[in-house]
Structure formats: structure tokens, C-alpha cells
Amino acid sequence: GTEVSRSGVIASADSGVTAAAAEAEQVAGDTTSFAGTWITAPRTRGGGGGPPGIERFADVLNDAGRAAAATYDERFDDPALSCSPSSIIRVWSEPNSVSEVTQASDEIVIRHEFMDTRRVVDMTTREHPETTDGGFTGHSVGWFEDSALVIETVGFSAGVLLPHPGVLHSEDMRIVERLTLSDDGKQLTREYEVTDPQYFTKPYTGSSRWNRSEIALGTYDCTELSGINNVRPAED
């Protein structure tokens, strides 16, 4: 039979792997193009490593941020129950999830398989409109600093930054992402900084990595689960 590791991938003969592999090979040596499909790089898992749950953010959240987090109950408030990826920080980190980047001179489109998420980055300006439609993707503008792609996003609706353990954010959140490629063009690294003057005492930062994928972007087709089974019980 076939052995598949915990982070392995099963691909059928008709999954589009052959065509995607050819495209990946074509752009693999290009260190300036982010275009193509990507899959989250395996992460090291293990025990220990700091306090559990929301306490990991004790030095980031202010009193308002902690109060907001205290109202969160993932049994009823996890955005995934409503087929939402929660935030542009959360959606990038789904294990073994495929993402696709389409790059043009005036815009960059980032699509994630998780929850069929789609983002558009305006490359023609560094200015944001005075009002936006909000939502979890906000409004993104981007520019290049040497070979790094910098994306600034504002204009969010208040919501959930990280559903586990439950870090909330206000409409004043600002996210700056910096995307770079490895020397051979086969790995993408994304560093991010999240600021929120209403809920944070300092920026929340992190990074993650993706490898060029031989698997075409699929469709998630989430099924809504936030119906009667997820109604918060009335308080006594």
C-alpha cells in the first residue's frame, strides 16, 4: 500500500498535479515572482513552550483587549462555524492548505483554499480610501522594497484575529505583511505585524512559510454550521 505521513499529501491522477508541477518548475528559479501555487510548510509540533491559551498574549493585550477576549466562547463564536476564515492572519496558517498568487503590475490577487478566501492587493497606490466595506480582509495596498513584497491592510470590521484561543480585534487594526522568496524561489516567507490601538499594548508579530506546490488550488465548499446547534444558552 501507500504510506502517508501526518503532513503528507495524497494526490489522484486527475488532480491537476502534472500541469501544476510544470508551472511550479517554470517559476521555481525566479526570485521576483510570487505567482503560482503554494502549500503551507510543515511546522514543528511539540510540548512545552510558554503559557497556554489566551495567556500567551498577556503582554500584547491591554485591559480592553482582555475584556473582549473574555467574552469569546469558541463553541459559539468561532468564525469557522459561519464559514469565515476569521482573519488574514488565520487564513494563511491552515495546515496543508494550498494558496494561489496571481501577480500583475496593477494588482496582486491572493486566493486561499481555506474557506475559498480571496484578497486583492492594489499595487497602484499606497493610499487607502476614507471608507471601506470592512470585513475580515479589509483594504490592501502593496509595493516592492527591493525584492520584498510589502502589503499594508486597514479598514477591517471588528472581529476575531485568532479563533484559538480567541484574540479579538477592533476596526482600528492595521496589518503589515512582508513577503520574501528564498534564493531558489521555491519557498515563500511571510512576516507580519499587527497593531490595534484599542486592544493591543504593542504589535503582535510572527512569521510563516510556504513551499511551491504541485497541487492546484481546490474549492473548500464550507457548510454552514452556526444554526440551532450553536445558539449560545441564555444566562441565568
Q: How far apart are CA 221 and CA 40, in angstroms?
A: 20
Q: Are 165 and 53 in contact (CB under 8 A)?
A: yes
pLDDT above 90 coverage of the chain, percent: 67
Assign 11 a pLDDT band (cuts: 50, 70, 90): low
* Cα-to-chain-centroid distance, residue 157: 16
Overall pTM surpassing 0.75 (yes/no): yes
- Residues 144-164: what's their mean pLDDT? 96
Element (H, E) at 90: helix 88-92
pLDDT surpasses 90 at 212:
yes
Instruction: Evaluate if residue 227 carries a pLDDT over 80.
Output: no
What is the mean pLDDT of the segment spanning 68-95?
92
Q: Could you give the C-alpha distances from 167 to 22, 61, 160, in angstroms and in order?
A: 40, 9, 6
Least confident interval from 7-21, 117-131, 138-152, 202-216: 7-21
Task: Count Cβ neighbours within 10 Å for each residue of 48-79 and write b for 16 or more, e otherwise.
Answer: eeeeeebeebeebbeeebeebbeebeeeebbb
Rounded to whole angstroms, the Cα distance separating 123 from 136 reads: 20
- Looking at residue 52, its pLDDT comes to 67
The region of weakest confidence among 6-20, 36-50, 111-125, 190-204 is: 6-20
Per-residue pLDDT reduced to its tens digit, 17-73: 444 444 444 444 455 689 999 999 986 544 445 566 899 999 999 999 999 999 999
Residues of the chain with pLDDT > 70: what percent?
83
Mean per-residue pLDDT over the chain, rounded: 86
Indicate if the pLDDT at residue 79 is higher than 80.
Answer: yes
